[in-house]
Amino acid sequence: MRKEFSMRPIRIANFSGFFGDRSSALAQMLRTAGADVLTGDYLAEVTMSVLAKQRDRNPGAGYAASFLAQLRPVLAEFAAGDGRIVVNAGGLQPQSLAAAVREMAQAGGTPVPVATVVGDDVLDRIAGTDAVPGSDDFCPVTANAYLGGWGIARALADGARIVVCGRVADASLVVGAAAWWHEWDRDAWDPLAGALIAGHLIECGTQVTGGNFSGFAATTLSDLAFPVAEIAADGTVVLAKPEPSGGRVSVDTVTAQLVYEVQGRWYANPDVVADLSTISLEQTADDVVTVSGTVGAPPPPTTKVALTGVGGWENSMLIGVTGMDFEAKRQVLEQGVRAALADIAGISTVRVELLGCEAQAPTSQNEATGFLRVVAQGPDESAVGRAFSSVIVELALASFPGIYLTAPPGRATRLGAYRSVLVDQAVPAHRVIDEDGSIVEIEPPAVTRTYVEEFDPAAEPATDDAGDGNLVEIRLGALVHTRSGDKGGDANVGVWAHDARVWAWLQNWLTVPRLRRLLPEADDLLIDRVELPNLRAINFVIRGLLGGGAISALRLDSQAKGLGEYLRSCRVEAPKALVSELTY
């Protein structure tokens, strides 16, 4: 590495937030971001299951082939510069993807050094051990440990221009690049934590520049920019976007991503833990936010392993319901479905749920329309498939008035199964395979620390109105922003206030009992609550709301993406003084 690198911050841009993200983003960011390193995140819990199915059909598959399509048109342009690309697009087959990149470069006459980070596949290492959760209906076909960034740092130091990784932790793409650039020691906790937060902020691409943001009405969503993070040697981060482009970078859009899918105060990575309660956000220019003050600590002794397997079968049908008596019609349909399925073996779960609510004064049939979603799951493909759909069809003239199907019956589809466990960081064989085939072993962290989350007590609020008895009814979203998502079977929702006065009310008002009232389906579930006063935010984790997780959940919103928006739509009572001063 050139020593002059560390004289300035490293500039890292993201061009992919998921497998299937904008195909033109790599070219766009290569040409406009002025980045030292371009990063692409392709892997999610759902993605590993998708890649496993691809590998089953073709043993050479199992990686995000879309990266090749993104790279091909700009490979010569990239090779002529001096930037780097780091991706986790390798999925289950990082060496196969690296070989495909080399072949493409050679064929185009633009060879570039390509390194591979491997060792996340621990299926053989943990099979038959207590680390794998035992279950008659779960047999893992993939087991991938979340690796840190030191393999990436070593690959870049050895001269790689493109680093292809498997299941490194999402933010490790950025941690590794920043550690390489600044030549940090492995115990540089605060700078590493700053890079970890930068990685978390840009890993989902446009989600930090206004995408999926509850303040979308004031955001230009066309040509939405991908983010750029400048990371200084002390871990201070400056977040921005290339200009001209759509979207915006503000304290609120950054907060939205910061609270996304976090589990509490401690944000852990295999290399470092960041204390979310120490982070300071400042709007330092238009579309520029400075992230500073992040305090780091040693990583935990364990790392997460994501296991995916093959589950049973699922089928669903969407049925129109119109006018009045929605709940009564749902009950009639459910009774008919359950009675007809009573003698059919091979279906273990049936759910009939109402989507939407009755309009009180509709002016068109569309306004008066809702839907009944009927879902069946079970171990028998034929029962969940044809037998189930036939039952629904046969009720078409024998159920509630106005019933109709929205689409022809479909076949049963195979469900995935997901579990996660923790293993010692020494279990993964973290290695770098350089361009020349040499292999470098990456040691697990020498210093670790065990963390115990301290959640806020589930107490009732001391008062309903923070001292102001003059209350008015308003939608919660007029006062707060939200962002929600998933981690396995758990849902996360962050709620934050734009200013100090709303925060003083929110902090007292939005307790766990209050959230249960707003979200009745979580009434019997464990809910963890953590306040982050520096962000004027409260983070909730609702344990088990998503059942088996995104690849097998019965819930329509299987990843809890809309949960925060539901909360914002709820009508609540708030002090009139707060409502009269609304600025967003």
DSSP code per residue over 191-218:
HHHHHHHHHHHHTTGGGGTTTT-TTGGG
User: Are 260 and 318 in a shared domain?
Assistant: no
Instruction: Tell me which H or E stretch contains 404.
Output: strand 404-405
Q: What is the pLDDT of residue 134?
A: 57
Same domain, residue pair 382 and 433: no
Give yes or no: residues 437 and 481 share one domain: no
Query: Is 549 inside a domain boundary?
Result: yes
Is the domain of 225 the same as that of 362? Answer: no
pLDDT of residue 462: 54
Q: What share of the chain is helix, strand, coil (3-state, %, to 5)?
A: 30, 25, 40
d(CA 6, CA 443): 24
Q: Clarify whether residues 344 and 492 are in a common domain.
A: no
User: Are residues 251 and 315 part of one domain?
Assistant: no
Q: What is the DSSP string of 558-583?
A: TT-TTHHHHHHHSEEEEEHHHHHT--
Task: Give a yes or no: residue 325 inside a domain.
Answer: yes
468 three-class SS: coil
141 - beta bridge partners?
Answer: none
| 535 within 8 A of 267, measured Cβ to Cβ | no
Q: Domain residues for 25?
A: 3-118+147-265+281-293+429-441
pLDDT at 83: 97
Same domain for 90 and 65: yes
The answer to the question of residue 276 being in a domain is no
pLDDT at 332: 97
Q: What is the CATH number of the domain that holds 354?
A: 3.30.70.380
Helix (H) or strand (E) holding 390: helix 388-394
Number of other CB atoms surrounding residue 564 within 10 Å: 27
- Do residue 411 and residue 495 come from a single domain? no
Model pLDDT, residue 341: 95
Residue showing tokens 């960011």:
29
CA distance 17 to 15: 7
Instruction: Tell me what pLDDT residue 583 has.
Output: 54
Return the pLDDT at 310. 85
The answer to the question of residue 134 being in a domain is: no
In-domain check, residue 453: no
HSE-up of residue 345 (Cα within 13 Å, Cβ side)? 0
3-state secondary structure of 487: strand
Assess whether 433 and 412 both reside in one domain: no
What does the radius of gyration of the chain's CA atoms come to, in whole angstroms?
Answer: 25
pLDDT score at 1: 45
Give the predicted TM-score (pTM) of the model: 0.93
Report how far residue 570's alpha carbon sits from residue 521's, in angstroms, rounded to the nearest whole number: 15
Q: How far apart are CA 562 and CA 477, in angstroms?
A: 13
**Are 157 and 49 within one domain?**
yes
- Cα–Cα dist 14/40, whole Å: 6
Name the nearest CA neighbour of 41 among 167, 203, 258: 203
Write phi, then psi, for 133 (nearest 5 degrees). -65, 125
Q: Is residue 464 part of a domain?
A: no
Q: What backbone torsions phi and psi does residue 114 show, to the nearest 5 degrees?
A: -120, 130
In this prediction, the residues of the chain whose per-residue pLDDT falls under 50 are 1-2, 465-466, 468
Q: What is the pLDDT of residues 115-162, one digit of tens each?
A: 999 999 999 998 877 777 655 567 889 999 999 999 999 999 999 999
> Is the same domain home to 435 and 505?
no
Buried b (16+ CB within 10 A) or exposed e, 252-277: bbbbbbbbbbbebbbbbbbbbbbbbe
Number of domains present in the structure of the chain: 3
In angstroms, rounded to a whole number, what is the distance separating the alpha carbons of residues 6 and 24?
31
Residue 399 and residue 436 in one domain: no
Q: Is residue 92 part of a domain?
A: yes
Residue 54 belongs to some domain of the structure: yes
pLDDT digits (tens, 9 = 90+) for 207-234: 999 999 999 988 888 889 999 999 999 9
